[in-house]
Amino acid sequence: MEIIPGVTINLSMIVSFMVKISMILFLILSIIMVRQESLMDKVVNLPIGKSLKILTWGYFLFSFFVTVIILLA
Amino acid sequence: MLLSAYRWVNLVQLDMPEVFKAENVKAESEEIKKLLSGGFSGRSFGSCVPRPHKFRFEAQQDDETVLLLGRRHLVTNLRWITMLCFAFVIPFVWGEFPFLKALDGNTLVSVTMLWYMGLIFYGMQSFLMWFYNVYIITNERLVDVDFVGLLSKTVNVAQISRVEDVNYTQKGILASFFNYGDVIMQTASEQRTPDTVGEMSAFTFESVAFPDKVAGVISQLTEEAEKPWK
């Protein structure tokens, strides 16, 4: 399908665009999760809370890394 | 706090009788000690932890002792864990879906990464919701902490002395087999909060382990609160 002259839009391009948008959404959700975990830990202060904080930060960094790779690819 | 510390120092120096030192602090009775000593699990991930180690909650008073910390039974997580296990293997059979067959290699890799990122997010979110949705029984109050989704929380607090009625229910094969159920408490001022949709009371401890023992502890505390000079 050639909507813009010289640019052919195919299924892969559309899916790829949607994946990129979803990746950014997950990145935003992961930073919200980090914040939420921190608030939860404040309300209910359990000894394991610090490890969970590291886990959520780890997930955020992982998703950041993956999102950057996908966006640049 | 400074005032109470100063008063405590003075009382110790004057060697006052014990009854004057413990102005507001209620000592743990033998019945409570007996109820808390048997049957509960003591692990951090336990569904019912008596006297949790190094645990504090928001708005905990200095003279307040946490007697029991609980959350939903571990078995209640089976649903999302099973879903995750199924979802984990789906990318292995993606070749069977005609829509995905039409995608090029790079896009398919991106879709797979997105899928696993979503799965990890869902797993972590479900775990956090289970881990931090706790109920706390102290020597003075009942605290029900409910986190709903990522952005909302409801904390219900009731004085032990205001609890009027305690009962518990166990429904289903899993609940009977693993000994968990709902503990429902009716308080004097029954206020409905957003987290209580479908619940019998604002103070419903859902799917708690050992509901009989939890109800027993609360009943005993209520009974003791009614007799302050005991």
Answer yes or no: is B7 within a domain.
Answer: no
Residue B104 shares a structural domain with residue B192? no
Of all residues in chain B, the percent with pLDDT exceeding 90 is 19
Residue B142 shares a structural domain with residue B205? yes
Q: Higher model confidence: residue B36 or residue A57?
A: A57
pLDDT at B83: 95
Phi-psi region at A40: left, alpha or beta (left = phi > 0; alpha = psi -120 to 50): alpha
Counting beta carbons within 10 angstroms of the beta carbon of residue B153, is it exposed (0 to 12), middle (13 to 18) or buried (19 or more)?
Answer: middle
pLDDT tens for A26-54 read 999 999 999 999 988 888 888 888 899 99
A18 — pLDDT class (breaks 50, 70, 90): very high
Residue B109 shares a structural domain with residue B214? no
Stretch among A11-25, B39-53, B114-128 having the lowest mean pLDDT: B39-53
Residue B66 shares a structural domain with residue B143? yes
Picking from A29, A44, A47, the nearest residue to B132 by CB comes out as A44
**Does A25 score more than 70 pLDDT?**
yes
> How confident is the model over A57-68, as a mean pLDDT?
94
**Does B217 score more than 90 pLDDT?**
no
Answer yes or no: is B3 within a domain.
Answer: no
**Does A67 score more than 90 pLDDT?**
yes
Q: With contacts defined as CB-CB under 8 Å, which chain B residues touch A33?
A: 121, 124-125, 128, 150
A9 — pLDDT class (breaks 50, 70, 90): confident
pLDDT at A61: 95
Answer yes or no: is B145 within a domain.
Answer: yes
CA distance A64 to A73: 14
Residue B159 shares a structural domain with residue B117? no
Q: Do B58 and A43 touch (CB under 8 A)?
A: yes
Residue type, A25: L
pLDDT tens for B163-198 read 888 889 998 898 888 888 999 888 876 565 555 555
Answer yes or no: is B2 within a domain.
Answer: no
By three-state DSSP, how is residue A44 classified?
strand
Residue B90 shares a structural domain with residue B180? no
Q: Give the residue from B11, B56, B215 showing the smallest Cα distance to A46.
A: B56
Answer yes or no: is B201 within a domain.
Answer: yes
Answer yes or no: is B50 within a domain.
Answer: yes
Q: Do B121 and A29 touch (CB under 8 A)?
A: yes
> How confident is the model over B64-76, as a mean pLDDT?
88
Q: What is the tally of structural domains in chain B?
A: 2
R_g over Cα of chain B: 23
- Whether A54 has its CB under 8 Å from any CB of chain B: the answer is no
- Whether A44 has its CB under 8 Å from any CB of chain B: the answer is yes
Residue B68 shares a structural domain with residue B82? no
B43 — pLDDT class (breaks 50, 70, 90): low
Answer yes or no: is B189 within a domain.
Answer: yes
Which ipTM score applies to this complex? Answer: 0.89
CA distance B1 to B18: 20
Residue B118 shares a structural domain with residue B212? no
Residue bearing tokens 């969970």: A52
- Whether A73 has its CB under 8 Å from any CB of chain B: the answer is yes
- Looking at B127, B157, B191, the residue that finishes a domain is B127
CA distance B70 to B48: 4
pLDDT at A55: 94
Residue type, A5: P
Residue B154 shares a structural domain with residue B68? yes
Q: Do A73 and B103 touch (CB under 8 A)?
A: no
Answer yes or no: is B143 within a domain.
Answer: yes
Structure tokens at B42: 């003591």
pLDDT at A52: 92
CATH number of residue B42's parent domain: 2.30.29
By three-state DSSP, how is residue A20 classified?
helix
Residue B99 shares a structural domain with residue B148? no
Picking from B52, B111, B124, the nearest residue to A33 by CB comes out as B124
Residue B148 shares a structural domain with residue B215? yes
R_g over Cα of chain A: 18
Residue B112 shares a structural domain with residue B202? no
Which residue segment(s) compose the domain that B202 sits in?
26-72+135-226
Closest-CA distance of chain A to residue B110, Å: 7
Strand ranges in B98-228 using DSSP code E only, listed in sequence order:
134-138, 141-148, 152-159, 163-169, 180-187, 203-209
pLDDT at B199: 57
Q: Which of residues 3-42 of A touch B (CB under 8 A)?
A: 11-12, 15-16, 19-20, 22-23, 26, 29-30, 32-33, 36-37, 39-42
B104 — pLDDT class (breaks 50, 70, 90): confident
DSSP conformational letter for B26: P
